[in-house]
Amino acid sequence: MRTRSLFTIGACLLALGVAQAQQPAAKDYPAKPIKVVVPSPPGGPPDLILRAIIPRMTAALGQPIVVENRAGAGGMVGTAYVAKLPADGYTWLFTTASHVNIPPFNENATYDPVKDFTHVTLAAQNFGQALVVHPQVPAQNVQELVAYARKNPGRLTYVNAGNGTASHIPAEVMKAMTGIDLLSVPYKGIVEGTTDLIAGRVDIFFVGTNIALQHVQSGRLRALALTGGKRWKGMPDVPTMDEQGLKGFSKVNWFGLWLPAGAPPEIVQKIHSAVAAAVNDPEVKQQFDTLGLEGVAMKPQEFARFVADEQRSAQEIARRINAGARK
């Protein structure tokens, strides 16, 4: 009994020591530079967002914040890397809705997007992807695109920057809603897909409005629709998918920040406060506006519920798409 008592006392003292060791770490956070892992190639929307908010977050937190692009497997490489790291707040994950959309489409995903991460904030979201086509495609709107695809099954190709990404899911949902046959062409990232679309080597791309706008204005691409629930003032003449007959079609891309699971709440709150201050800065709002984005700064608990809901939605979409593919 005495041995057990000593063991119990020792365990309590050890736990107390660990708690006391953690408290100063959280209180003094951050005490060294921070790394943000982006699991996609450089130059994409996550990089543009971080470029806008990092200077203000650096000023708020008092430490340098360095971006590291770890692309591969549609985002799974960088995401899995962060999931295995210590939850000390010095390595962040910043990525898109593909965080929850990719795993249901890929049995090789080694992480759970809900359970393996601490949810910090939804930083921004767009007005949906722009459905753009190469000018050689004989369609001025979604109805004409669908009609052409029905007459030419399997002839039209679309950019797929990874199963479960914002370029893949809208295309597959459109296929499911209209019954058309489009050929998926895999790409490692948005930049490569955009280059081939402009060159006419592929026909269709669901891409971020900020990327689409410059090429639409130059005449190199034609915008047929937006996938969100409302129009974007940067492309006021481009209607939504819903407006063009695909009722209920509403898919936006969003951008969130995570830490590995188990991060101290005090650290999470410090990071969230820095993000919230950055996205609400008037200059950042203006930059977001030109990119077709809205700052959000969702609170951690709310973001956790949001991610869980998005995961369930992605799983349902994957079931429908995979069921359609087996027919």
Q: Which CATH number goes with the domain that contains 60?
A: 3.40.190.150
Quote the pLDDT of residue 111.
Answer: 96
Question: Among 110, 327, 104, 131, which residue's Cα sits nearest to residue 226?
Answer: 131
Q: Where are the alpha helices (DSSP H) in 84-168?
A: 98-101, 142-151
When computed from its CA atoms, the radius of gyration of the chain, rounded to whole angstroms, is: 22
Using one digit for the tens of pLDDT, what is the confidence trace for 286-318? 999 988 899 999 999 999 999 999 999 999 888
| Cβ(294)–Cβ(305) below 8 Å | no
The pLDDT value recorded for residue 292 is: 87
Predicted confidence band of residue 25 (pLDDT cuts 50, 70, 90) = low
* Angle ∠(287,292,295) on CA atoms, nearest 5: 65
Spatial separation of the C-alpha atoms in residues 4 and 313, rounded to whole Å: 50
Edge-first strand listing for the sheet containing 293-295: 65-69, 34-38, 91-96, 254-260, 117-126, 293-295
pTM value is 0.80
Helices 169-178/142-151 angle, 10° precision = 70
Q: Given this model, what pLDDT does residue 149 score? A: 98
- Domain stop point among 223, 251, 279: 251
Domain boundary among 226, 251, 276: 251
| Domain region containing 190 | 129-251
Say which range, 5-14, 125-134, 203-212, 249-258, has the weakest mean pLDDT: 5-14
Contact 169, 254 (CB under 8 A): no
Same domain? 142 vs 215: yes
238 shares a domain with 135: yes
pLDDT > 50? residue 4: no
Q: Are residues 159 and 263 in the same domain?
A: no
Position 13 in a domain: no
Q: What is the pLDDT of residue 319?
A: 87
For residue 105, the model assigns a pLDDT of 86
143 in the same domain as 56: no
Do both 188 and 93 map to the same domain?
Answer: no
Average pLDDT, the chain: 90
pLDDT digits over 106-121, tens only?
Answer: 888 999 999 999 999 9
For residue 253, the SS3 value is coil
Do 304 and 207 sit in the same domain of this protein?
A: no
Residues 104 and 157 in one domain: no
* Confidence (pLDDT) at 323: 53
**Among 203, 234, 251, where does a domain finish?**
251
Mean pLDDT is lowest, of 12-16, 63-67, 86-90, for 12-16
> Quick one: which of 3, 269, 241 has its CA closest to 130?
241
Question: What's the whole-number mean pLDDT along residues 10-19?
Answer: 45
